[in-house]
Amino acid sequence: MKKRIFRTVVLMLAFMMSLTMTVSATGTPSFTRWETNGEVITTASRDMYVATKSVNASAIGLDGRLTGLNDIQYYNGYVYLLCSEDSCIVVLNDQLEFERKITIAALETEETSPVEETETEDNSDEYFDPFLEDDDGSIDNTLMDAEGIFVTDDSIFIMDTGNERLLQIDMQGNILQQITVPDNDVIPEDFLFQPISMTKDFDGNYYVVSKDCYYGALLYNSAFEFQGFYGANTVQATALDTLAYLWDLMTNTDEKRSKQTRTLPYAFNDITISNDGYLFTCNGCKSMHDFTNGTGQIQQLSPGGVNVLLKRKNKGKSESATGYMFLEDHVETTWNDRLVQDFCSIAINQNGFIFALDRTYGLVYVYDIDCNLVTAFGGGASKGDRLGLFKSPTSMTLMGDKILVADAELCSVTEFDITPYGALLQQAQKLYLDGNYAEAGSLWEDVLKMDSASAFAYRGLARSCYATGRYKEAMRYAEKVYDYVTYDSAYQQVRKEFLEKNFAWIFAVAIVLVIALFYLFIRMKKRETSSIKNEKLRVLLHTSIHPFDSMKELKYKQKGSLVGAVVLLVLYTLTTIIRMTKTSFLFRTADAFNYNAFFTLASTAGLVLLFVVSNWLISTLLSGKGRFGEIFIATNYCLMPMIVINLLVTGLSYFLSYEDEALITGLMTVAVIFTLFLIIISNMTVHDYTFGQFILTTVITLFLMILIVFIIFMICVMLQQFWNFIYSLYMEVAYR
């Protein structure tokens, strides 16, 4: 009995320990983002990558630590770790086991002649380079804050950032050559050559990224002759920036120029090349004082150095990724410190997926070639207290389907392995981007079984259903992920099939309706008196047809109806809500995720009431003859076109495709203009104003409306602060 109890306790403890180990072995939850109707939603997602191991010096059998672990690269089955403080490179195999250590050996140079030595001494005040040669004439092999390595078949390039040089060594550690700042006219006089990253294209050209260099990457040919700068970023200027520049040209003085600051473009942090020969770069923040995340952090450079990376929108249009936010659109503040995200490393896998490492939070972002965020994982935010989290990530490299991340503070390398879900999603997404929708269909169904909330799976299934002729299913899947292009294409096919099957009776009904409308129009023209006996109702309905006569009857014969005005205001609000929420998916402006009826109420009934109150207050000071009730009734009578157009657009939206959006926009524009025209007539008639008086009164009315909104906002803020004070006072008393 005792043995059985003991076994039970041991098993329970083992089970609890296994649970603890499982929880502690993961980083922050993976997440993704997908675009809805003008909004970007961040949601949790199934893990595509999981941390499987982390190795440091002791784990691979070395003494001490991997100090200065600033870069990592995988090449031909081996992992190369740059340990800057130890001036060496540690080589691991693909199992992250120690292979060897490459120690940099000093390069002996030819002795200089006495004449040359004399010349050097005479010109020592003009030029002195402390790191080109040691006292014995050899090139110094000590690294200073080296930030990058690049491995080729027979040599290794070390970006010796602190020493402002680029070292090329062989596989035994012997220095082959040393490259310093190029002697070229295009190099600015104050240029600092501080290499941090480099890559090589298929033609043998080298691209070197220098720290905080705003001119682009330095381009060298295969013989390492400097060719110029390549792919510089530009500063995005607005119309206001242009006007400010012109104003400065006209008003600048020497004192003003001395106090001006320049807006500099973002500098490259890393550069790599894809399998199809395109160069990819990532940008970091400009400085420690740059409190914005910026946009366009990832670029795909053409042979001409132009960013050709495009962000495909849900509605089919593509825009340059220069204006796209790859990171989060906000800046976190922790203990009064602004934590600005900063990409420090970039990689491209064989399927064209883009991997970018954020050094601030230690997050690894994965994008497809359309700039859609597939997943993001990792994290730590300077804690790095468990596997999969980081303290100070510096570099990242891909090893097949695995991701290796180097952490300079932890002096370790973390391995992330792809999950079956991640491999399946990447395979399906690759087929989707290549246009093989039908072939990817079964894969997307498997992805959806693993993650029922995968936006990529729904989008892929929508395309697959469309490619195989299942148009209604395609519409259903496309609507879930706001894929307007696929939905519209499928809808056009559904509409085409419906018209082909039902054209006969649709044509007959249309003829009958046209004849009926024509008959009613003829009868109304022949009748001398209106069929509407209620005079107030007749004035209300005729306002849009005979605005001048109706407003005169409202003003001088008191034929306005307060109840009718209230009904019209309510109908205007309700039909606006209906138009925003119940139109066809293609034209729906409100999103179920973020729709708030309060804002619709404020922008319809609230705006009308604000205008009526403001107009009445101003008109009493400017000799206006309209009373508050007359202004309220007349203004609401003018809303009839908006009520009609809201219902008309809602109905038409179910018969139009996205190509007919111009018709919807045109109808709404005409209705708004006609409503404003009616308001002008009503205001001039009610107040007995000339057009000039109306313009003056309207301008002041609009100003008063803004002032009232501001006052209401300030009152709300003060009430909130007062409530917080009362609550704090209550809590203070309660705890005492």
Looking at residue 640, its pLDDT comes to 92
Please determine, for residue 241, whether its predicted confidence score (pLDDT) is greater than 50: no
- Looking at this protein, which amino acid is placed at residue 341? Q
Looking at residue 258, its pLDDT comes to 45
Neighbours of 253 (CB within 10 A): 7
> CA Rg, the chain, in Å?
35
CB-based contacts of 554, cutoff 8 Å, min separation 6: 539, 560, 630, 633, 634, 637, 685, 686
DSSP characters over 660-700 = GHHHHHHHHHHHHHHHHHHHHHHHHHHHT--HHHHHHHHHH
Looking at residue 2, its pLDDT comes to 45
CA–CA separation, 245 and 664 (whole Å): 40
Helix/strand/coil percentages in the chain, nearest 5: 45, 20, 35
Cα 214–Cα 217–Cα 221 angle in degrees, nearest 5:
150
Looking at residue 131, its pLDDT comes to 41
The candidate with the shortest Cα–Cα distance to 413, out of 162, 26, 64, 90, is 90
- Torsion, Cα of 149, 150, 151, 154 (10° steps): -100
Identify the band that residue 112 occupies on the pLDDT scale cut at 50, 70 and 90. very low
Looking at residue 239, its pLDDT comes to 46
Write out the H or E segment, with its range, that includes residue 526. helix 484-526
What SS3 state is found at 521? helix
Q: What is each CA distance from 648 to 123, 563, 671, in whole angstroms?
A: 87, 24, 11
Cα 423–Cα 428–Cα 429 angle in degrees, nearest 5:
100
* SS3 of 76-124: CCEEEEEECCCCEEEEEECCCCEEEEEECECEECCCCCHHHHHHHHHCC
Please determine, for residue 572, whether its predicted confidence score (pLDDT) is greater than 90: yes
Please determine, for residue 645, whether its predicted confidence score (pLDDT) is greater than 90: yes
CB contact at 8 A, 616 and 609 = no
CA–CA separation, 24 and 19 (whole Å): 9
The candidate with the shortest Cα–Cα distance to 312, out of 450, 463, 188, 190, is 463
Phi-psi region of 651 (alpha: psi -120 to 50; beta: other; left: phi over 0): alpha
Structure tokens at 114: 């006495």
The candidate with the shortest Cα–Cα distance to 595, out of 223, 37, 117, 124, is 37
Structure tokens at 522: 């003829």
Q: In whole numbers, what is the pLDDT of the chain averaged over residues?
A: 82
Identify the band that residue 108 occupies on the pLDDT scale cut at 50, 70 and 90. low
CB contact at 8 A, 284 and 344 = yes
CB-side exposure of 192: number of CA atoms within 13 Å? 10
The percentage of the chain sitting over the pLDDT mark of 70, rounded to a whole number, equals 82
Mean pLDDT of 633-642: 92
Beginning with the edge strand found earlier in the chain, give each strand of the sheet holding 28-35 in spatial order: 40-44, 28-35, 373-378, 363-367, 354-358, 343-348
Identify the band that residue 501 occupies on the pLDDT scale cut at 50, 70 and 90. confident
Q: What is each CA distance from 36 to 314, 329, 462, 469, in whole angstroms?
A: 8, 16, 16, 25
Looking at residue 114, its pLDDT comes to 36
Mean pLDDT of 259-281: 77
DSSP characters over 455-503 = HHHHHHHHHHHHHTT-HHHHHHHHHHTT-HHHHHHHHHHHHHHHHHHHH
State residue 417 phi and psi, 5-degree precision: -105, 145
Looking at residue 525, its pLDDT comes to 61
Structure tokens at 95: 């199992």
Looking at residue 333, its pLDDT comes to 54
Please determine, for residue 622, whether its predicted confidence score (pLDDT) is greater than 80: yes
pTM for this structure? 0.77
Looking at residue 453, its pLDDT comes to 84
Mean pLDDT of 631-654: 92
Please determine, for residue 439, whether its predicted confidence score (pLDDT) is greater than 70: yes
CA–CA separation, 637 and 681 (whole Å): 11
CB contact at 8 A, 432 and 440 = yes
When mean pLDDT is compared across 60-74, 444-458, 720-734, the lowest value belongs to 720-734
Query: Residues 397-419: pLDDT tens digits?
Result: 999 999 999 999 999 999 999 99
CB contact at 8 A, 390 and 414 = yes
Cα 663–Cα 669–Cα 671 angle in degrees, nearest 5:
105
DSSP characters over 358-411 = ETTTTEEEEE-TT--EEEEEE--TT---STT--SSEEEEEEETTEEEEEETTTT
CB-based contacts of 692, cutoff 8 Å, min separation 6: none
CB-based contacts of 210, cutoff 8 Å, min separation 6: 192, 193, 194, 195, 196, 217, 218
Please determine, for residue 261, whether its predicted confidence score (pLDDT) is greater than 50: no
Looking at residue 255, its pLDDT comes to 52
- Looking at this protein, which amino acid is placed at residue 331? V
